[in-house]
Amino acid sequence: MRIPDELKYSSDHEWAAVSDNRVRVGITDYAQDALGDVVFVDLPKVGTKVTVAQSIGEVESTKSVSEIYSPVTGTVVAVNEELSGTPEAVNQDPYGAGWICEIELDGTGGVDALLDAEAYRGLTDH
Protein backbone atom coordinates (compact mmCIF):
# COMPACT_ATOMS: atom_id res chain seq x y z
CA MET A 1 0.00 0.00 0.00
CA ARG A 2 1.62 3.23 -1.15
CA ILE A 3 1.20 6.40 0.94
CA PRO A 4 3.56 9.04 -0.53
CA ASP A 5 5.14 11.29 2.11
CA GLU A 6 4.87 14.46 0.01
CA LEU A 7 1.04 14.40 -0.16
CA LYS A 8 -1.67 15.44 2.29
CA TYR A 9 -4.67 13.21 3.05
CA SER A 10 -8.29 13.45 4.17
CA SER A 11 -9.90 11.00 6.57
CA ASP A 12 -12.26 10.19 3.65
CA HIS A 13 -9.28 8.68 1.73
CA GLU A 14 -8.62 11.46 -0.75
CA TRP A 15 -5.09 12.70 -1.39
CA ALA A 16 -4.10 16.30 -2.06
CA ALA A 17 -0.96 17.50 -3.85
CA VAL A 18 -0.62 21.14 -2.83
CA SER A 19 1.24 23.53 -5.16
CA ASP A 20 0.92 27.23 -4.29
CA ASN A 21 -2.83 27.96 -4.38
CA ARG A 22 -3.78 24.87 -6.39
CA VAL A 23 -4.47 21.34 -5.19
CA ARG A 24 -4.57 18.19 -7.32
CA VAL A 25 -6.99 15.65 -5.83
CA GLY A 26 -7.44 11.90 -6.18
CA ILE A 27 -8.37 8.86 -4.14
CA THR A 28 -5.70 7.00 -2.23
CA ASP A 29 -4.18 3.62 -2.99
CA TYR A 30 -6.00 2.35 0.11
CA ALA A 31 -9.35 3.58 -1.26
CA GLN A 32 -8.90 2.19 -4.77
CA ASP A 33 -7.84 -1.17 -3.31
CA ALA A 34 -10.97 -1.30 -1.14
CA LEU A 35 -13.18 -0.39 -4.12
CA GLY A 36 -11.85 -3.03 -6.49
CA ASP A 37 -11.89 -2.59 -10.28
CA VAL A 38 -13.00 0.98 -11.11
CA VAL A 39 -15.36 1.05 -14.10
CA PHE A 40 -16.62 4.68 -14.05
CA VAL A 41 -15.64 8.02 -12.54
CA ASP A 42 -18.19 10.85 -12.22
CA LEU A 43 -16.06 13.99 -12.37
CA PRO A 44 -16.97 17.40 -10.93
CA LYS A 45 -17.68 20.28 -13.32
CA VAL A 46 -15.03 22.94 -13.90
CA GLY A 47 -16.12 26.14 -12.19
CA THR A 48 -17.90 24.37 -9.33
CA LYS A 49 -17.29 25.97 -5.93
CA VAL A 50 -16.58 23.29 -3.32
CA THR A 51 -16.07 23.13 0.43
CA VAL A 52 -14.20 20.67 2.63
CA ALA A 53 -16.01 17.30 2.87
CA GLN A 54 -18.50 18.19 0.09
CA SER A 55 -19.22 15.42 -2.40
CA ILE A 56 -17.63 16.32 -5.75
CA GLY A 57 -18.21 13.09 -7.66
CA GLU A 58 -18.37 9.32 -7.52
CA VAL A 59 -16.17 6.36 -8.29
CA GLU A 60 -18.05 3.27 -9.44
CA SER A 61 -16.41 -0.12 -9.20
CA THR A 62 -17.45 -3.71 -9.75
CA LYS A 63 -18.12 -3.85 -5.97
CA SER A 64 -19.80 -0.54 -5.13
CA VAL A 65 -20.22 3.19 -5.71
CA SER A 66 -18.24 5.54 -3.49
CA GLU A 67 -18.46 9.32 -3.10
CA ILE A 68 -15.41 11.51 -3.74
CA TYR A 69 -15.18 14.30 -1.17
CA SER A 70 -13.30 17.55 -1.58
CA PRO A 71 -10.37 17.71 0.83
CA VAL A 72 -10.22 21.52 0.51
CA THR A 73 -12.36 24.62 -0.13
CA GLY A 74 -12.09 26.40 -3.46
CA THR A 75 -13.11 26.20 -7.12
CA VAL A 76 -12.64 23.24 -9.48
CA VAL A 77 -10.34 24.53 -12.24
CA ALA A 78 -9.46 21.27 -14.05
CA VAL A 79 -10.71 17.68 -14.29
CA ASN A 80 -8.99 14.56 -15.58
CA GLU A 81 -11.01 13.96 -18.75
CA GLU A 82 -8.85 10.89 -19.51
CA LEU A 83 -10.78 8.99 -16.82
CA SER A 84 -13.89 9.02 -19.03
CA GLY A 85 -12.21 6.51 -21.34
CA THR A 86 -9.79 4.88 -18.91
CA PRO A 87 -11.34 4.80 -15.41
CA GLU A 88 -9.01 1.91 -14.53
CA ALA A 89 -6.20 4.49 -14.24
CA VAL A 90 -7.54 5.11 -10.72
CA ASN A 91 -6.53 1.51 -9.87
CA GLN A 92 -3.33 1.39 -11.87
CA ASP A 93 -1.84 4.77 -10.90
CA PRO A 94 -3.94 6.45 -8.17
CA TYR A 95 -1.29 9.13 -7.44
CA GLY A 96 -0.46 9.85 -11.09
CA ALA A 97 -2.66 9.22 -14.13
CA GLY A 98 -5.64 8.47 -11.85
CA TRP A 99 -5.99 12.02 -10.45
CA ILE A 100 -9.57 13.34 -10.32
CA CYS A 101 -9.49 17.16 -10.39
CA GLU A 102 -7.60 20.33 -9.50
CA ILE A 103 -9.02 22.90 -7.10
CA GLU A 104 -7.90 26.51 -6.78
CA LEU A 105 -7.87 27.27 -3.08
CA ASP A 106 -10.11 29.84 -1.46
CA GLY A 107 -7.63 31.34 1.03
CA THR A 108 -5.91 28.50 2.85
CA GLY A 109 -8.81 26.24 1.82
CA GLY A 110 -8.48 23.97 4.83
CA VAL A 111 -5.10 22.54 3.80
CA ASP A 112 -3.85 22.87 7.39
CA ALA A 113 -6.51 20.43 8.58
CA LEU A 114 -5.36 17.64 6.23
CA LEU A 115 -3.39 14.67 7.51
CA ASP A 116 0.27 14.12 6.74
CA ALA A 117 1.41 10.70 5.48
CA GLU A 118 2.29 9.44 8.97
CA ALA A 119 -1.13 10.36 10.37
CA TYR A 120 -2.87 8.79 7.35
CA ARG A 121 -0.86 5.58 7.84
CA GLY A 122 -2.16 5.51 11.42
CA LEU A 123 -5.71 5.93 10.15
CA THR A 124 -5.35 2.99 7.74
CA ASP A 125 -3.01 0.87 9.88
CA HIS A 126 -0.42 0.78 7.06
Give domain limits for the chain: 8-124
* CATH architecture, domain 8-124: Beta Barrel (2.40)
pLDDT of res. 61:
97
pLDDT band of 23, cuts 50, 70, 90: very high
* Residue 106, burial from CB neighbour count under 10 angstroms (0-12, 13-18, 19+): middle
pLDDT of res. 28:
98
pLDDT of res. 108:
86
pLDDT exceeds 90 at position 25:
yes
Q: What is the pTM of this model?
A: 0.95
pLDDT exceeds 90 at position 126:
no
